[in-house]
Chains A and B, each alone.
Chain A
Amino acid sequence: MSSMEKVLDQYSSKVYKNRKQHILEKADEVQQIAADVRTVPGIMTNRGCCYAGCKGVVLSPIKDAAVITHGPIGCGFYTWGTRRHKAKGDENTKNFLEYCFSTDMQEADIVFGGEKKLRQAIKEVVEIFDPATVVICSTCPVGLIGDDIHAVAAEAEKLYGRKVMAYSCEGYKGVSQSGGHHIASNGLIKHVIGTGDRVPKKYAVNVLGEYNIGGDGWEISRILKRIGYDIICSLPGDGSYVEIKSAHVADLNLVQCHRSINYVAEMMKEQYGTAWLKVNFIGVKGTIESLRNMAKFFGDEDLIAKTEEIIADELAAIMDDMEYYKTKLKGKTAALFVGGSRSHHYQGLLKELDMETILAGYEFGHRDDYEGREVIPTIKQDGDSKSIESIKVEKIPDKYKVYLSEDRYAKLKEEIGLESYEGMIKEMENGAIIVDDMNHFETEEFLKLLKPDVFFSGIKDKYVAQKGGILSRQLHSYDYSGPYAGFSGAVNFARDVTMGIYTPAWGYVKAPWKTEPTLEGQVAGGER
């Protein structure tokens, strides 16, 4: 029996029927996986909710926005400073990341409605902080009691002369965080992007779906700036409302996390003509390929030459370190279970370190993140996906600009994969296991069966794996380390994994008295 069958075999028939569609063993033929569908109740999923995706992931990092959580205190509290999306303010840009704003709804607000309190909270945040924009995110009870946060926002916008946006991202919507990414993206398209007027310089790009966890975004920007790119905005990591307003003036959108931000890229393509390119700045090869594709997009000989020069320079700085860590990590195996992109992104880096990925899965990925964007037309909508608003956008003629001629677009579309994403499965080795929405039971069982040397996951699994003797590194938060992106980030990653595998404490798990007898026996009546 394969390890996949061994795990599935333990389920009751109902759960078996559901879960077998979410687990694959990579084979030669084209394979389909079930994803982005509701989790079986009680199954101990790692997934979060719509609010977590909208407020926690996409909107929180926008540093100059005062984000008010409209609801009881918990949701705002849990998303306060816990996601490591670093940001730095300056004299023109306020940074609200150290603050948590909530309407802290009480029973009376639930019974009599919370709009009045929300109105007052907006007034107070404006009076105390004078933010560039106010963002309102709703939690479960708000949708149920019918507070019209959009009307409150519209009214406040007029009253305070600044953008006030409302996001209906109640936790019960959709099946995971993923719905929240979509709702946040819709709002940014409706309210923010296209309202700024920054004048772009040469090679103007947006970095989309980069969250600046542990400073990844800063490392990517450093490299792009060395080459000579003009970064219009970073959305959302270390991003600002003021910068995001001008996103539409960029020539190219770079998409790092396909899952969470492809909506923005797709809608901007429609509205403003901005082409998008899937990039992967995790791993040396991924970074190099991304940089070369970007240079090809702009097609400028100087830019191409500069790109090669910077690549050579950055590579020279890390080669020795990478070679060293390879000697420490060669042949080690890894399992990855992260959100909606990282489980794919890190496989390349692991390969560069001579490590093998034996299991990978997404918490909230869709089929296209596994199988590639070509399957999108075949994905069936269900009641849950329909509960997430999908907006229709149209071309905005006066702001529409296309960087590439039709011929060049056609040529490059194939060559560098414009507006396409191949997904995770194609790059995986035969026999590797792919698990969507892997639950606690499966995590425990697969770890026992496959015994990877490292399990890359999140905080909820981390100590489960480690108690079982398997190193676990968090790939959501990087265990408070990083950056892991780009060239030097690859070294940081290799250093951290090596440290985890070789830390001496692993050698002390078994106490000596478990293996060596301490009691000297004496046969009754015998002489010693």
Chain B
Amino acid sequence: MLDLTPKELSERSALRINPAKTCQPVGAMYAALGVHKCMPHSHGSQGCCSFHRMYLTRHFKEPAIAASSSFTEGASVFGGGANLKTSVKNIFDMYKPEIIAVHTTCLSETIGDDLNAFIQDIDIPEGKYVVHTNTPSYVGSHITGFANMISGFIKYLAKGAKVKNGKVNIIPGFVNPGDMREMKKLADLMGASYIMLPDTSGVLDAPMTGSYDMYPKGGTKIEDIVSMGDSEMTFALGQLTSENPANDLKRKCGVPFVSMPLPIGIAATDEYVMALSRFTKNEVPYQIEEERGQLVDIMLDGHPYFHNKTVAIYGDPDTVLGITALVLEMGMIPKYVVTGTPGESFNIKAKELFDKAGVTGCIAKAPGDLFELHQWIKNDPVDLLIGGTHGKHIARAEDIPLVRAGFPIIDRYVHSYMPIVGYKGAIRLVELILTALMDRQDRDCNEEDMEMVM
């Protein structure tokens, strides 16, 4: 397994090996699926759209719909305006969405297609919408594309009518439907009235009913996106992902925002709950206190099995930072934390977490890749890996247990229904970590040392 990876590190300036990121459009597609009755549309050649639909379907095990401008060589030379026009007509005719959310690709960006002009030129049926965002694949990552699509919805739709709606906007970050449900649960328990954008719960975790519905019940309603401009404030969860769209809404409609980490682990969830409490002016109800107390209880109970264990965490920036914070709260050492998404703030924020916890010798890298992470591990191993599917080869090669969390997880089921955010999500992560480490002890210990009670 990964036998060709040498232990010796070498300087690389051009070759990306085993990336820990993918390109913008798939993030934009995911965000668009979180809007009710929305058809995501990929303005480029067919392959992009197919790749992205495949990837999302593999992660969620749910249909991921999207259309494509189906560029040919001609469109690449003369521009894709005609293709977009035909697409919009056909999509409204055949698939009857309320809204089409167009994102670009490296192809349409490189030839300089002007989506603003194209869309202005299209006859959009009464009461329907076409919005767009620019997602050149050669900038940022799928996280950037996710954020850009949210900004696209805001720029086209959000309106400030000066009559406040008493709500808080929640931009949940690049997380699973299970996480969005957990964030909403906490907001509901706090008595907050909110608009979440995007909201893929009820879309990418829709139930089996026996009849296929192209547009399941979930997703942010268009009128709610419009109303976001009238909200009291916005919570940008996951600073590196959600701050930009929150800022775009502030610029457009003057809605102030509070930016905070993804609520992964105790402190970050506390921050979210406190922010909700400040917003609603409601006291934190017992049910939330109970969950928090259960989490702390579990962390105390299980600590002998994870204390001072070293862990490598890879994946998307806000998710990795969140998990890093949690493992530090558990008394573990996040020896390597890596994201493929470029951006120095990741390194700074990771360092702040290390410093706050007083751990030394930990490395954070953005943008890094899994090949380099593997080389670090070969030189100085860790006890546990946390991240998506693409680390499974390292896990096997180095015989290190892997806890799957984040995106993409294309080799397991159920994960997208279950949260890693909130106290409940942290309880789940602690269980996954404990089970991984304790299963390992049961597997590796001498027969005479096998413990009946642990």
A residues touching B (Cβ–Cβ < 8 Å)? Answer: 10-12, 15, 38-52, 68, 71-78, 80, 82, 89, 94-96, 98-107, 109-110, 117-121, 123-125, 127-129, 139-141, 143-145, 171-177, 383-384, 387, 440-441, 444, 458-460, 462-469, 509-510
Are A120 and B14 in touch, CB under 8 angstroms? yes
A468 touches B211 (CB 8 A): yes
**Which B residue's beta carbon lies closest to that of A110?**
B138
Q: Which of B6-28 contact A (CB under 8 A)?
A: 6, 10, 12-19, 21-23, 25-26
A71 closest partner in B (C-beta): B106
The answer to whether A172 and B107 have CB atoms under 8 Å apart is: yes
Residue of A nearest to B75 (CB): A172
B308 near A: Cβ within 8 Å? no
Check A171 against B209 for contact (C-beta < 8 Å).
no
Whole-angstrom distance between the Cβ of B4 and the nearest chain A Cβ: 6
Contact of A102 among B16, B44, B45, B66 (CB under 8 A): B16
Q: Is the CB of B45 within 8 A of A171?
A: yes
Interface: B64 (CB within 8 A): yes
Contacts of A140 in B (CB 8 A): 44-45, 76, 105-107, 110
In this complex, which of A39, A43, A105 has the most chain B Cβ atoms within 10 angstroms of its Cβ? Answer: A43
Selecting from B48-56, B177-185, B266-274, the interface stretch reads: B48-56
- Which of A11, A123, A460 contacts B53 (CB under 8 A)? A460
Interface residues of B (CB under 8 A from A): 1-4, 6, 10, 12-19, 21-23, 25-26, 41, 44-48, 50-55, 57-58, 61-76, 83-84, 86-91, 93-95, 105-107, 109-111, 136-139, 141, 206, 208-214, 340, 371, 390, 393, 410
Residues of B within 8 A of A466 (CB): 208
> Taking the nearest CB of chain B, how far is it from the CB of A386, in angstroms?
9
Asked whether A102 lies within 8 Å of B19 as measured between CB atoms, the reply is: yes
Instruction: List the 9 closest A-B pairs by CB distance, nearest first.
Output: A49-B47, A74-B23, A42-B87, A120-B14, A72-B137, A42-B90, A104-B16, A468-B212, A140-B107
- Which B residues are CB-close (under 8 A) to A48? 46-47, 50-51
Are A50 and B47 touching (Cβ within 8 A)?
yes
Q: Bound complex: CA of A107 vs CA of B134, how far in Å?
A: 13
In the complex, the number of residue pairs spanning A and B with C-beta atoms less than 8 Å apart equals 259
A44, A95, A110, A127 pick with most chain B CB within 10 angstroms: A44
Q: Which of B22, B67, B138, B214 contacts A78 (CB 8 A)?
A: B22
Question: What is the CA–CA distance of A510 and B209 in the complex, to the nearest angstrom?
Answer: 7
Interface-centre pick from A45, A52, A139, A172 (highest chain B CB count, 10 A): A172
Within the complex, the shortest CB–CB distance from A385 to chain B, in Å, comes to 11
Q: How far is the CA of A176 from the CA of B71 in the complex (A)?
A: 10
Is B137 a contact of A74 with CB atoms below 8 Å? yes
Question: Contact: B17 with A41, CB < 8 Å?
Answer: no
A441 to B107, CA, bound (A): 26
The 8 Å CB contact of A110, one of B54, B83, B110, is B110
B70 engages A39 (CB within 8 Å): yes
- Give the one of A74, A89, A128, A440 with max B CB within 10 A: A74
Of A42, A78, A95, most B-chain CB atoms within 10 Å: A42
5 intermolecular pairs with C-beta atoms under 8 Å apart: A48-B47, A96-B4, A110-B106, A172-B107, A469-B211
How many angstroms between the C-alpha atoms of A100 and B18 in the bound complex? 5
| Contact present for B18 and A74 (CB under 8 Å) | no
Q: Considering only CB atoms, which chain A residue lies closest to B58 in the complex?
A: A459
CB-defined contacts of A51 to chain B, threshold 8 Å = 47
A460 to B93 Cα, complex, angstroms: 21
Determine if B213 and A98 form an interchain contact, defined as CB atoms under 8 angstroms apart. Answer: no
Whether the pair A41, B86 counts as a contact (CB closer than 8 A) is yes
Across the interface, B110 reaches (CB within 8 A) one of A128, A141, A460, namely A141
Neighbouring A residues of B1 by C-beta, 8 Å: 98
- Give the residue of A45, A82, A119, A441 whose beta carbon is less than 8 angstroms from that of B95: A441
Q: Which residues of A contact B63 (CB under 8 A)?
A: 460, 463-464, 467
Question: In the bound complex, how far is the Cα of B76 from the Cα of A171, in angstroms?
Answer: 10
Question: Are B95 and A171 neighbours in the complex by a CB distance under 8 Å?
Answer: no
Alpha-carbon separation in the docked complex, A101 to B209 (Å): 42
- CB pair B139–A106 under 8 Å, yes or no, is yes
- Most central of B46, B84, B93, B95 by chain A CB within 10 Å: B46
Of A46, A80, A128, A143, which contacts B6 at CB under 8 A?
A128
User: Which residues of the partner chain A approach B83 to less than 8 Å between Cβ atoms?
Assistant: 41
Would you call B209 and A467 a contact (CB within 8 A)? yes
In contact, B18 and A38 (Cβ under 8 angstroms): no
Separation of A42 and B93 alpha carbons in the complex (Å) = 10
Residues on the B chain within 8 Å of A105, using CB: 138
Q: How far is the CA of A357 from the CA of B75 in the complex (A)?
A: 38
Instruction: Report the nearest B residue to A43, measured CB to CB.
Output: B90
CA distance A384 to B44 in the complex (A): 16
CA of A38 to CA of B66, assembled, Å: 18
Residue of A nearest to B91 (CB): A42
Q: Contacts A73-B22, A78-B22, A460-B57; is A52 near B211 (CB within 8 Å)?
A: no
B50 engages A49 (CB within 8 Å): yes
Task: Given the known inter-chain contacts A98-B393, A141-B110, please indicate yes or no for A41 contacting B70, CB distance below 8 A.
Answer: yes
Residues of B within 8 A of A98 (CB): 1-2, 393
Contacts of A119 in B (CB 8 A): 14
The reply to whether A463 and B210 form a contact with Cβ atoms under 8 Å apart is no
- Please measure, in the bound complex, the distance between the C-alpha atom of A464 and the C-alpha atom of B75, giving whole angstroms: 30
Q: In the complex, which of the residues B48, B51, B91, B209 contacts A509, with contact meaning CB atoms closer than 8 Å?
A: B209
Q: Looking at B61, B89, B94, which has the most chain A CB atoms within 10 Å of its CB?
A: B94
Pair A46/B84 contact, Cβ less than 8 Å: no
Complex CA–CA separation, A241 to B69 (angstroms): 36
Q: Which of B14, B70, B212, B340 sits near A38, CB closer than 8 Å?
A: B70
* A45 with B90, Cβ < 8 A, contacts A96-B4, A118-B14, A127-B10 known: no
